Structure 1
Amino acid sequence: MKKVLVVDDSKSQQRLVNGLLQTIGVEVNLVDNGESALEWLNNHEQPDLILMDIVMPDMSGLDVCRYIRKEMNYKTVPIIFLTTKDEDFDKFWALRQGGTAYMTKPYSPTELIDTVKNYL
């Protein structure tokens, strides 16, 4: 079973993504912030994909992405940013930090499922 880590400080967003991903039969792991994501990654088997918010209280999703790409050597794990930041510069910068794909909220359930399937 494929394993997805969801990093988002919004409980409603976590519930939504969890429900959508369970319909395609993946194991979903939820964390609330960047520090929790790093702790989870240090204590579990590498996930097959990471869905990451950018705006979070302790460290941004961009900082988390940069850290896991460089310090944890997660070079091949797809990181899909899922964020309200919708400027072209935001997308450009997120992909420069090591993101694989970029989706803005709100998104259609079909778009999220198709994107996740594409990278799994």
Structure 2
Amino acid sequence: MSTVLVVEDTPSEMALIASFLKDSGYTVISATDAKEALQKVTQYKPDVVVTDVVMPGMSGFELCRSLKKNPETEKLPIIVCTSKNQELDRLWAMKQGADAYITKPFSREDLLRALKSVVV
């Protein structure tokens, strides 16, 4: 099964996403901010990244740009998982390199559907 890097600074959201993924057979690596995520992408080579947008320091949008600019990670699928539910936010995320976009609150099915849409 796939390895998912979850980037989320809210402990309750992190726990929810991790439990949905683990219960579905995914291996979960966690990071609480984008800088830590960049280190873990290099270290663990996950199959997909699920990231929040609003985080201290670097935003999820900046994380997307950084990963997509790097030749080693440009093909890494990214799912943005955020409470920002405006169409403009979704379009901006896609412009930054996100491959899927889901809004909070989300169901387990929403998360798994997004994962299946980006992981071959």
TM-score range, shorter chain: over 0.9
Counterpart residue type for residue 89 of structure 2: D
Contact 2:101 2:114 in 1 (8 A): no
Instruction: Supply the distance in 2 between the matched residues of 1:43 and 1:49 (Cα, whole angstroms).
Output: 14
The residue aligned with 1:26 is 26
Instruction: Supply the distance in 1 between the matched residues of 2:118 and 2:98 (Cα, whole angstroms).
Output: 12
Following superposition, the deviation at residue 6 of structure 1 comes to 0.2
Structure 1, unaligned runs of 5 or more: none
Following superposition, the deviation at residue 75 of structure 1 comes to 2.3
The residue aligned with 2:55 is 56
Instruction: Supply the distance in 1 between the matched residues of 2:46 and 2:70 (Cα, whole angstroms).
Output: 16
Counterpart residue type for residue 35 of structure 2: E
Following superposition, the deviation at residue 118 of structure 1 comes to 3.0
The residue aligned with 2:81 is 82
Give the TM-score normalised by the residue count of structure 1: 0.93
1:70 has 2:69 as partner = yes
Following superposition, the deviation at residue 67 of structure 1 comes to 0.5
Instruction: Supply the distance in 2 between the matched residues of 1:86 and 1:5 (Cα, whole angstroms).
Output: 22
> Between the two proteins, what is the percent identity of the paired residues?
36
Contact 2:7 2:51 in 1 (8 A): yes
Following superposition, the deviation at residue 78 of structure 1 comes to 1.1
The residue aligned with 2:111 is 112
The 3 A distance-change label for structure 1 pair 12 and 72 is: farther
**How many pairs align?**
119
Off by >6 Å, runs of 4+ in structure 1: none
The residue aligned with 2:10 is 10
SS of equivalent residue, structure 1 residue 62 = helix
> Could you say what the CA RMSD is over the residues aligned between the two structures, in angstroms?
1.2
Counterpart residue type for residue 60 of structure 1: S
The within-5 A match list for 1:31-46 is 31-44=31-44, 46=45
